[in-house]
Structure 1
Amino acid sequence: MTALVITNGDVRAVVTATGATLREFSVAGVLYSETFAEGEAPPLGSGAVLVPWPNRVADGRWRGGQLEITESARNNAIHGLVRHQEWAVASHDGSAVRLETEVGTRPGWPFPFRTAITYAVDAAGLTVTHEVANTGTETMPFGVGVHPYPRPGKADAGECLLTLAATTHLPVDAERLLPTGAVEPIDPRLAEGVALREVRLDSAFGGCAPDSDGVVRHWLRGDDGGVLVWADAVFGWVQVFTPPSFPGNDGQAVAIEPMTCPPDALNSGVDLLELAPGATWSASWGLSPC
């Protein structure tokens, strides 16, 4: 997996061409994302790009056809089509790298498209910009998500407060993690801030409310540091996953995953985006120390 390093002062990110995966984000040598060794496969979906759908499609079936089952234990199609592809490096300068990949028609996916991602670092942190271009002749439904594991610098993540911009929670079944019904109000602790060690989550949250500047903000903050996960308003959903462990990390880890739509959106249609032939969509998210 080709490692692509970008820097701006003491801000640094490392991206791999396989999957256009974020492998590291750090400031002054302090990690603000979980990382993994060069040449290793990303553990637990770390840093993955989830296009043209995030999360799960029940049984891999939707109106477009039968998708490949990529989560065999739960019989779902999971996390899109591009996270194992080799992406082409379109440009790479000191502080930014742009990668692109083409996706033709696939079993269960009759819509060819091109997608690009730009990682850029500056004094404020990391900005990630996604593009999706419909190269086919029909309107394409799609969603976009990402799978970062933000890390609160030198702070103990388990002692940090997790605060989400979301207002709703989407119930899922325990066996297959698929939606079971209508959204419900979010646990107030998650909206107000709860110690990460007090929650165990693999859940989707919606109604992510942007601040007055139009930016959605999720926080992981403690006395000794913190990290902000921000996103454009189109990322109205966020998946939060607290794994029992993360390779190379002796403490608590958490994935905070901005998404444009919820699990199984290809079937429910909830917040599913549509792109006309020849059109291009773009939106951004990022990580910042706080």
Structure 2
Amino acid sequence: MDPSGEHFRIASGEARAAVNEVGAGLRSFSVAGVDYTEPQPEGVRPPRGSGSLLAPWPNRVAGGRWTWQGKAQQLALTEPDAGNAIHGLLRYAFWRPTDRTDAAITLEAVAPPQNGWPQPVRVAVTYAVDEQGLTVTTTATNLGSDDVPFGLGFHPYLRVGDTPTDDCTLTLAARAALPLADQLPSGPLEPLAADAPLRAGAPLKGVELDSAFGDCAPADGDDLVRHRLVAPDGRGAELWAEPVFRWVQVFTPPDMPGHGRGVAVEPMTCPPDALNSGTDLAVLAPGEEWTARWGIRPVTA
């Protein structure tokens, strides 16, 4: 059995995508044969968190410890070398398809109550492709008897066909950087000037990042947050998101299979260690639903 389970493939016109059964992560996305995310190799777990859906929280929880309604919680330390809990509870769960067409698929899983997590949360995610690109819609529902916090993130690696990452320019819609120490928040947000690298557009050659940014917001007259990776010829990949995705993590590992250096642009609704800080966490009442959208579209020269 493939570690990612079944691969669900969807298509519309020249747009193609694939989604993993295990973790419900994005396996690939292309238009007219051009990859706009790093396609995952066969027969192995998604490398470097590639394409992962991160719920019911994204990023890290320091020491796996947090407090909810006055009760101490201790999550499993899923980042054992650093001693943290990372990227939620559903990355290695089997997700059940609940609806499928040629161009879209919906998958569903439940994060059950367990050590460190107090209430069951159902997460349903729909991946859909059309002439505009890829749209990802996620709905979380509190199935429990009391309030529960919720945060969401995704871990796509952007790509512009065969263009090396070092030849591309990255532009973020973030207006602040979050200082990190050992990948956990170490201070308040630091404003980024409008002409700061990454906000104004930064060539990635020689830039190594595993960094968190906040205060992501639409440009004037827009209603979506937009991050862009652009090749020298002007072609690119745009990751758009609803304004609830106020945070983004950027990671540039040197060893993505088949492509060398990669760049993950990870939209998040809350920052690292949000279960402790409470920053931008949603709080769902029993039976309450919460929905958010993001997606990827090609940018033409």
What band does the TM-score fall into relative to the shorter chain?
A: over 0.9
Residue 237 (structure 1) aligned to one of 235, 240, 247: 247
TM-score (norm. length: structure 1): 0.96
Identity of aligned residues (%): 52
Return structure 1 stretches of 4+ with deviation > 4 angstroms: none
Residue 56 (structure 1) aligned to one of 47, 57, 60: 60
| Shift, 1:245, TM fit | 1.8
> 2:278, 2:216 → 1: CA distance?
18
Residue 19 (structure 1) aligned to one of 20, 23, 37: 23
| Shift, 1:105, TM fit | 0.2
SS at match of 2:294: strand
TM-score (norm. length: structure 2): 0.93
After TM superposition, the structure 1 = structure 2 runs for residues 1-290 of structure 1, keeping only pairs within 5 Å, are 1-64=5-68, 65-173=73-181, 176-186=182-192, 188-211=196-219, 212-224=221-233, 225-250=235-260, 252-290=261-299
| Shift, 1:223, TM fit | 2.6
> 2:44, 2:164 → 1: CA distance?
25
| Shift, 1:213, TM fit | 2.9
Q: Which residue identity does 1:240 align to in structure 2?
A: V
SS at match of 1:40: coil
Q: Which residue identity does 1:258 align to in structure 2?
A: P
SS at match of 1:266: helix
Contact 1:127 1:285 in 2 (8 A): yes
Backbone CA RMSD of aligned residues: 1.1
| Shift, 1:39, TM fit | 2.8
Deviation string 1:188-215 (CA, Å, 9 cap, x unpaired) is 1111001011321101100001132310
* Count of aligned positions: 287
Q: Which residue identity does 2:183 align to in structure 1?
A: L
Contact 2:30 2:36 in 1 (8 A): yes
SS at match of 1:190: coil
Structure 2 gaps, min length 5 = none
Structure 1 gaps, min length 5 = none
